[in-house]
Amino acid sequence: MTFYSQPSKPLWSSLILIAPFFLWGTAMVAMKGVMPDTNPLFVASIRLIPAGLLVLLVAQALGRPQPQTWQGWAWIGLFALVDASLFQGFLAEGLARTGAGLGSVIIDSQPIAVALLSRWLFHEVIGFWGWLGLGVGIMGISLIGLPDEWFYQLWQLQALQISWSWQGLFQSGEALMLLASLSMAVGTVLIPFISRRVDPVVATGWHMILGGLPLLGLSLLTESQSWQGIHIAGWFNLAYATVFGSALAYGIFFWLAAKGNLTSLSALTFLTPVFALGFGNLVLAEVLSSLQWLGVGLTLVSIYLINQREFLKTRFSAWQNVGHPVTKP
């Protein structure tokens, strides 16, 4: 199964395919910018509920059918719990407690979990080239997000001087980002089951609203002065994260997930920190180190390996047959 449903328009297909990851990467920068002026659960709920309403309005305008059975609503409820409440809650709390680089490495490792779950549930063939690509991708995002000093210490065979400990893991945010990554992975593999019973665009809208309401309730109960300190620029950041980083990005991503190979689609998540770094460099004048540029290159290589794994397998098999021709009995 392929994501390119319109072969005559490969450019538009490619742009649509990478759009969610560009929007997520830039939305991470926008969320990080407003986080010092507000509270994490408030940001998570504001990112979800208005976006869900917007998606449902678009679905209504397009004539998309609403859920008709209790089974459909049950799947949406499960989807809302896993991919909205848990994922966005863990993401916002983790983003407030850890560095953006380390956090992005942890959360963007979820293609590994998606690949394993898809192999188990849907018998997707990953193969040598796919696993190689996943490994290269993990190396790439590690070079992008982890401190350069760690790799220099490894090169010099020194003990890593890591600033966090297992005892303070939840306070530092790394475990929260890992839980967010696993929540997103489970939510991604739920999409094929949901799309059999509910329109995926409608399910996206409802899961945002239903998943955002508990986060808003928790914010009202446990957080104070969530909006008083937000300036005009901060509201623009929230609006971008809501409209583009949630409504548009999730609508496209889950529409694609309902149509194609989950391992290949999820592997493009490796692009998210690349876009985040590029956006930070372009707008905030942040400078990439040589190791980060190497990580960007490895990330692009990994995406090629994963999405072209069947082609590479065929070409490699043909090359082997040329070097070792099979003699007929």
Contact between 187 and 79 (Cβ < 8 Å):
yes
Q: For residue 113, which of 304, 295, 267, 254 has the smallest C-alpha distance?
A: 267
pLDDT of residue 163: 54
Work out the average pLDDT over 145-161: 67
Task: Report helix, strand or coil for 4.
Answer: coil
In terms of pLDDT, which residue wins out, 261 or 79? 79
Query: How many whole angstroms separate alpha carbon 291 and alpha carbon 247?
Result: 34
Looking at residue 260, the DSSP 8-state letter turns out to be S
pLDDT of residue 7: 43
pLDDT of residue 95: 74
Query: How many whole angstroms separate alpha carbon 212 and alpha carbon 198?
Result: 20
107, 111, 316, 325 from 328: Cα distances, Å: 51, 42, 21, 10
Assign residue 65 a region (left: φ > 0; alpha: ψ between -120 and 50; beta: otherwise).
beta
Q: For residue 279, which of 29, 108, 33, 99 has the smallest C-alpha distance?
A: 29
Domain extents for the chain?
10-156+169-321
pTM confidence score: 0.72
Work out the average pLDDT over 143-165: 65
Give 3-state DSSP helix, strand, coil % of the chain, rounded to 5.
80, 0, 20
Contact between 3 and 13 (Cβ < 8 Å):
yes
